[in-house]
Each structure stands twice: as C-alpha cells, then as structure tokens.
Structure 1
Amino acid sequence: MSKSGSALEVPIFVKLQSSDGVLHTVDIRLALQFAAIRDIAKVENGTYSNDVIPLARVDSKTMEFIIKWYTFVQDIGGCEQTTGMQVLKGLLKNQNAEPLFLVQLLLASDYLGLDIFLEAGTKLLANVINSCQSTEEIRRRFNVETDH
C-alpha cells in the first residue's frame, strides 16, 4: 500500500491494465480524474492499493494518448476547456489521427468518467462535423457506409 501525502512527498503511482494487457503506471492524480477508478483506487484514510486496475474498454493506444493529453494539459495550466481542446487538436494533428480515433477517445473518456477530456473532445468532434460540407463528407471522414 502507498500512502498519500503532501506535495513534498514522492509521487504516488497506480497500475492500470488496458484491454490488450498493457500495463500503464500513472500518477494517482491522473487516476483519480477517472470516475471509474476513483472508488477502486482509494481504500481509506488516503491510502491507495498497489493492485493492478483493469480497464476492460480502453486499449493501450487510447490510454497512452489520454495520459499524454493529461500531462500536456497539466504542464500548460490555464483554462482547462480551451487548453484541453487546443492540446487535443495538436496531439491528434501530430499523430495524423483519423476522426474515428477521436470517437474512440471519446468512448474511452466516457467509460473512464474523464469529464475534462470528454468536454474538450466533444467540442472538437462537433467542430470536425460542422466543418464538413455535406453528409457524404461526414460519411467519408468517419467511414460510415451509405444506407441505400
């Protein structure tokens, strides 16, 4: 068991296992942002479990992206809404990510209960959809087959 303490103490980490079996060691401050993990990780009296926490609906690529996004947002500071969306847009662009990956990220953030990411991501997704000139363009971007 690890003990939570003041900012002067050594950071506390928890282990999260993605659906594809990859272990991610993350700072407890990030893990506690996940509503799905908050109750599992915290035992009582500020003490946290060293057990691996399984994430059945999040693969390693998605988890790594969320960790990177959270780290950038924390390092930059500022208004979480604006900063979060700007960082997300930049990271997606740097990875040449398809719009479908953004949808995958939103599904994972909803599952995890990561509201700050979900808010930034849904706004970005709305911007992507609004930038499309037609329903055909939306279908192409999101790889949706026509129903005729």
Structure 2
Amino acid sequence: MSQPSQALQIRTSDGIVFDVCLEVAQQMGLTHSWLQSERGDLKCSDGPDDDANVMPLNRVRSDIFKLVLDWCQAVQTVDTPLEHKEMLQHQRSLFQRILTESNATDSTIFELIIAADYLNIDGLLQAGTQHVADVINGCDSVEAIRERFHIMYEGEIDE
C-alpha cells in the first residue's frame, strides 16, 4: 500500500481553503519558502478552526488560485524532461488551454500573471507575459493596442 501524500491547506483572500498536495504546493516558490521557514513540518489539524497549518494567500482570490492549481498539476504530469525551447512551447500551449477552458477575460489573465509573480511560479509568469506580448504584437497600431486593452489616454478622459 502506498502512503497517502501530505497536503497543505491554503486559504485564498476570499476565505476559501484548498487542500493542496505538497508536491504541487512546492512548485510555488512562496509556499515552498513558507514550508521551510514557517512550518518545518506539518502537524495534524485539530479541527476546522485550527489555523496552525493553513497558509494565507491574502493577494489571490479562489477563482484565480484554481487556475494556478490547474497549471501546477498539469506541469507536474510532464514525465520526460524537455529541452528549453520545447518547455517554452509546452508552457504556452498549457497557458492557452487553461485560458480557453476557463473562458478567461483580459482581467483574469492579468490577475493570473500577478498571482504567478506573487506565488513565484516562473513558468506561469513567463507563459502569461508571453501571451500578453503576443496579443500586443498582433495589434497593428498603438490605437489598436489601446482599443484591445481598453486603455484611455489623457486626451480621451472626460473632465
């Protein structure tokens, strides 16, 4: 019989608690650091009100954290090591799949990038920023970029 894997409880800014497998949680630099500096080891929870093992994520909402978990779980399933160029392509396609499956808006994409930065997940951060760069490169003018991202410039602001 295999031993059950340990889990880390993570509470998002909107109060939702996730049980995250340690192997997945350690892909996030922030949780990896928290585990090393704050906890050392996990203790058994005494009940639903015991916060001793709950890591707070005060800057990430649950809907964004679900997308982060999707990313981390998908990355974990890669069995063979990939060359750098192959890994970048894999990350881009994985990011696009997550966006498509979640019907992500521009706002969601930007929040996902911010969460990747906060959680210190380099691959997700690179894939997200590359996605935005690709969108910008697909625009044929500054005006098209402003329109695409709903950016107003000083001359357009009503006073």
TMscore range, shorter length: 0.7 to 0.9
Deviations 1:96-148 (A, max 9, x none): 21223211111111011111211121112211111112222222322222221
Aligned to 2:29: 35
User: Which deviates more, 81-90 or 53-62?
Assistant: 81-90
1:48 is paired with a residue whose SS is: coil
Contact 2:27 2:72 in 1 (8 A): no
State the one-letter code of the partner of 2:73.
Answer: T
Equivalent residue, structure 1, for 2:88 = 81
Instruction: Select which of 126, 131, 134 maps to 1:124.
Output: 131
**Aligned match of 1:5:** none
> TM-score normalized by structure 1?
0.82
Provide the rounded CA distance (Å) in 1 between the counterparts of 2:146 and 2:9: 38
- TM norm structure 2: 0.77
List alignment gaps of at least 5 residues for structure 2.
46-52
Structure 1 residue ranges without an equivalent (≥5): 1-7
Residue pair 2:12, 2:56 contacting (<8 A) in 1 also: yes
Once the two structures are TM-superposed, the CA of residue 67 in structure 1 deviates from its matched residue by 0.5
* Identical-pair percentage: 28
Q: Which residue of 1 aligns with 2:57?
A: 55
Cα offset, 1:14, TM superposition: 0.5
In structure 1, distance between residues paired with 2:124 and 2:77:
15
1:24 aligns with 2:18: yes
1:102 corresponds to which of 92, 103, 109: 109
Instruction: Give the distance between the partners of 2:4 and 2:88, measured in 1 at CA.
Output: 29
Q: Which amino acid aligns with 1:14?
A: L
Please give the alpha-carbon distance, in whole angstroms, between the structure 2 residues aligned to 1:96 and 1:116. Answer: 21
